[in-house]
Structure 1
Amino acid sequence: MPEAVRFGVNYTPSEGWFHHWLDFDLDSVRADLDSVAALGLDHIRVFPLWPYFQPDRTLIRPRAVEQLLALADAAAERGLDVNVDGLQGHLSSFDFLPAWTRTWHRRNLFTDPQVVEGEAAYLRTLAAALADRPNFIGMTIGNEVNQFAAGPHPDPDRISEAEAEQWLGRLLAACAEAAPGGLHLHASYDAAWYQDDQPFTPAHSARLGDVTAVHSWVFNGTAQRHGRTAPQTEQHAAYLVELSKAWAEDAHRPVWLQEVGAPAPLIPAEHAAAFAEATIDAVLDCPDLWGITWWCSHDVSRNLADFPELEYGLGLLTNDRKPKDIAHVLAAAESKAAAPRSTALVVPSAPALRSRCAPGGPVFDAWFRLAADGARPTTVLDTRTADHDHLTARGITEVVTPDQVLPTPQGGTRS
């Protein structure tokens, strides 16, 4: 459990986006990192593009690895720690998969033995290269890799829950083998928590790896349904953090809000700072929070084509590295100790019932009714409601089911 909450940013280069690896300019990177460090943040999350680093299954480009190390060293010079995502994978609506896994060479990303061994070799190589850097936090297997395993991806590599768990175990072990003592994890987008047929499950997120990662995006129907200033929107990230705890076996497993951002037009630019302040305040009231890593550092250049409109303006800083109002919110954020949450809402343990927890579902709605009543809710699995040791370890003194949480006026009290 960390002594203080970490505050950082997902590093998006101001020049060339993640394609900057093709024309790597260390001076430009240094200038970007200067602008990040000036905000007083303590870490960045970094994204090598997988096909650029491993264009052939048995070729991991030494020059690309050297560039990654140069970036990490530049971050260290500015007091920034570094987490590295390996399998990119998927970023900002674009897929980046090496040619040796697609079309004429189509093989399942998660189950083909040669592909998995290639992935493990790649992660081992990056982790081993970074292992001696004192500012290296650890590896994330990849960014939201679960989106390749089910719909709505247009061409998914279908797998079972057991195959997903085997794949995660194999690649987490590769990271730990190459960089013992690092904080190694995997990161799913919110389908892992909300989508009934997603093979990457809440239990995988909350039990595998050294920390639970959650990615909170309110364009998932939350902001559309409730509006930009509703508690459901401003506390969506806190809800995901607390939802994740139901499946954790460690009562105080740390949770990392690894991605959260203010997507326009649902969160208009002039309201982004207020959204960020409300989101951060709510999340800091969650015990066992490892850190908050905002998406993202710099805007995407308008010179680049075909991004969804919302992607261009998510940066804390502009393309010329000037901080926006939202940057000052993150810069001013301070860690605080959060008291235990004593009221737990029962959630279904069956993965096929995850949609009950999604926006508009009965668990989601009940959680926010409890929050409106000032209950500071957390969650507990339906299989653990009578587990006294578990409840005591988490500081839970009251357990309620969704059908017990009746609508009350905003700010009212439960009878």
Structure 2
Amino acid sequence: MPDAARTLRFGANYTPTKGWFHHWLDFDLDEVRADLDSIAALGLDHVRVFPLWPLFQPNRALIRPRAVEQLVQLTDAAAERGLDVNVDGLQGHLSSFDFLPAWTRTWHRRNLFTDPDVTGAQEEYLRTLAAALAERPNFLGMTVGNEINQFSDGPHPDPDRVSHTEAEAWLRRMLAACEKGAPGRLHLHAEYDAAWYQDGHPFTPAQAARIGGATAVHSWVFNGTAQRHGPGGAATEQHAAYLIELARAWHLDPHRPLWLQEVGAPQPHIPASGAAHFTEATIDNALDCADLWGVTWWCSHDVDRELADFPLLEYSLGLLTNDRAVKPAGAAIARIAERWRGTAHAPAPRTTALVLDVGDPVAAPDRAGCAPGGAFFEAWARLAAEGVRPAVVLAPLAEDAAHLSARGLTEVVRPEQVG
């Protein structure tokens, strides 16, 4: 689909005000409705929601009907407020906490990605959630899991090791289960930035950019970007745009949609006084990238400070406070959503591409240069600071005239030529 035909989507990752994601244990539909009212009042059009996998599938052979019914009730409540819903299936990992069923750990330790009993149960779980929502018009589709790649490699303290070919086979199988449950919806997968930045990581850029209905990127500047470049640096304010352009380098379809599915303003890396500016700058820069499906901010509401043991930055990421008052970042995204409502998204083409060499493009063994402080990252950031609007092209395609022409690229620059 050409970008000119797209209307941008703006939404939030839904963090319940009462009990955080533990709210599934004491599900209160009236509280959910009040939360969704406050999200809809910002002018947003969708939410991404997170069932906790151990609560929904506490035994390999048991998917709790009541839990699935509550997910349907949440989706229907969202529809009443004009909100579409994307559902993340395998949680997995959220805000520094792991949520894995007991039948995968300790005495029942089995690899999440390769054990046939585990993968069969995952497949049925994803199919069941998708099928429960398949007839809901406001159901966008499934995301396989939230950054589940973090379980596959270090720095996780107890990783389930897997090869990149096994990771790809697992992703294709899980997405096929989602499609079986709800045919024709937007089903995708989403990784944290080790997929783009970590040498040898089994979840790869090619998988992110070629498998599923869209490419998802999660942009967090506490990964060294803000520490190195400051809260107002070009690299910091354009980090999301950088990831979008980095992902596009692996696309086989030049108009494949990209979803900025997670992005937030983490304190103290982004001071509270600068959160609104960072929000506007980040989204404006992302909107300067073609084929953007939409932006889903992390997160809807602040975490209740009575809850213990979260990293400090996690408590204050909301667009709204824990008592549903609009914060400056929330007001900023509301202004942006209003400005773009009903407007087709068609930014000017990027004509200059920075050449990226990661070795084999499929396995991408040499990704570290793409990370903050890496030669490629810093060259891209330098060009962006100079107003160049750089795209990214893989080294094997840097002299492919047909590829460059299809993307509107007229100039290629190598990192060693920058600065």
Structure 2 equivalent of residue 360 of structure 1: 373
Which of 366, 370, 388 is the aligned partner of 1:375? 388
Q: Tell me, in whole angstroms, the C-alpha distance in 2 between the residues paired with 1:252 and 1:380.
A: 15
Query: What is the alpha-carbon distance in structure 2 between the residues aligned to residue 15 and residue 269 of structure 1?
Result: 23
Residue 197 (structure 1) shift:
2.1
Q: Which runs of 5 or more structure 2 residues have no equivalent in the other structure?
A: none
In structure 2, the partner of 1:344 is 353
State how 1:62-77 maps to structure 2 within 5 Å. Answer: 62-77=65-80
- Is 1:392 the counterpart of 2:405? The answer is yes
Over residues 260-303 of structure 1, what are the superposed CA-to-partner deviations in whole Å (9 max), with x where a residue is unaligned? 00001111111111110110111010001011000000010011
1:32-83 CA-partner distances (Å, limit 9, x unpaired): 0000000000000000000000000110000000000000000000000000
Q: Secondary structure at the match of 2:252?
A: coil
Of all paired residues, the percent bearing the same amino acid is 71
AA aligned to 2:348 is A
Report the aligned-residue RMSD.
0.8
Q: Residue 18 of structure 1: CA displacement?
A: 0.2
Q: CA deviation at 1:349?
A: 3.8
Distance 1:373 1:16 in 2: 45
In the TM superposition, what are the counterparts of 1:41-56 in structure 2 within 5 Å?
Answer: 41-56=44-59
**How big is the shift at 1:358?**
0.7
Q: Identify the residue that residue 147 of structure 1 maps to in structure 2.
A: 150
Matched, 1:242 2:251: no
Q: How many aligned positions are there?
A: 406
Conservation of the 8 A alpha-carbon contact between 1:252 and 1:394: no
Matched, 1:206 2:196: no
Q: Which runs of 4+ in 1 moved over 6 A?
A: none
1:370 Cα deviation (Å)? 1.5
Aligned equivalent of 1:37, options 36, 40, 59: 40
Paired with 1:373 and 1:32, the residues of 2 have a C-alpha distance of: 42
Contact map agreement 2:200 2:366 (CA 8 A) in 1: no
Match of 1:412 in 2: none
8 Å Cα contact 2:303/2:322 also seen in 1: yes
* Corresponding position of 2:223: 220
Query: 5 Å matches for 1:91-170?
Result: 91-170=94-173
The DSSP-based 3-state class of the residue aligned with 2:60 is: coil
The counterpart of 1:305, out of the listed 305, 308, 319, is: 308
Q: CA deviation at 1:337?
A: 2.3
1:187 is matched by which residue type in structure 2? A
Secondary structure of the corresponding residue to residue 306 of structure 1: coil
- In the superposition, the TM-score normalised over structure 1's length comes to 0.97
SS of equivalent to 1:383: helix
Which residue identity is paired with 2:43? G
**Residues 150 and 197 of structure 1 are in contact (CA less than 8 Å); yes or no, is this contact kept in structure 2?**
no
Q: Distance in 2 between matches of 1:342 and 1:144?
A: 32
More moved, 303-312 vs 387-396:
387-396
Matched position secondary structure for 2:155? coil
- 1:358-381 CA deviation, whole Å, 9 max, x = no partner? 111111111112212222111011
Structure 2 distance, partners of 1:154, 1:205, is 24
Q: Secondary structure at the match of 1:116?
A: helix
Q: Secondary structure at the match of 1:353?
A: coil
Equivalent residue runs for 1:246-325 within 5 Å? 246-325=249-328
Structure 2 distance, partners of 1:199, 1:3, is: 32
Please state how far the C-alpha of 1:400 moved relative to its aligned partner: 1.2
Partners of 1:251 and 1:390 within 8 A in 2: no
Displacement, 1:252? 1.3
Partner residue, 1:60: 63
Q: Secondary structure at the match of 1:259?
A: strand
Deviations 1:215-250 (A, max 9, x none): 000000001111101011111010000000111111
Output the CA distance in 1 between the equivalents of 2:16 and 2:346: 33
What SS does the corresponding residue of 2:170 show, helix, strand or coil? Answer: helix
Q: State the distance in 2 between where 1:141 and 1:375 align.
A: 36
User: CA offset at residue 203 of structure 1?
Assistant: 0.4
- The answer on whether the counterparts of 1:110 and 1:159 sit within 8 Å (CA) in structure 2 is yes
Residue 16 of structure 2 corresponds to which residue in structure 1?
A: 13
CA distance in 2, matches of 1:100, 1:348: 41
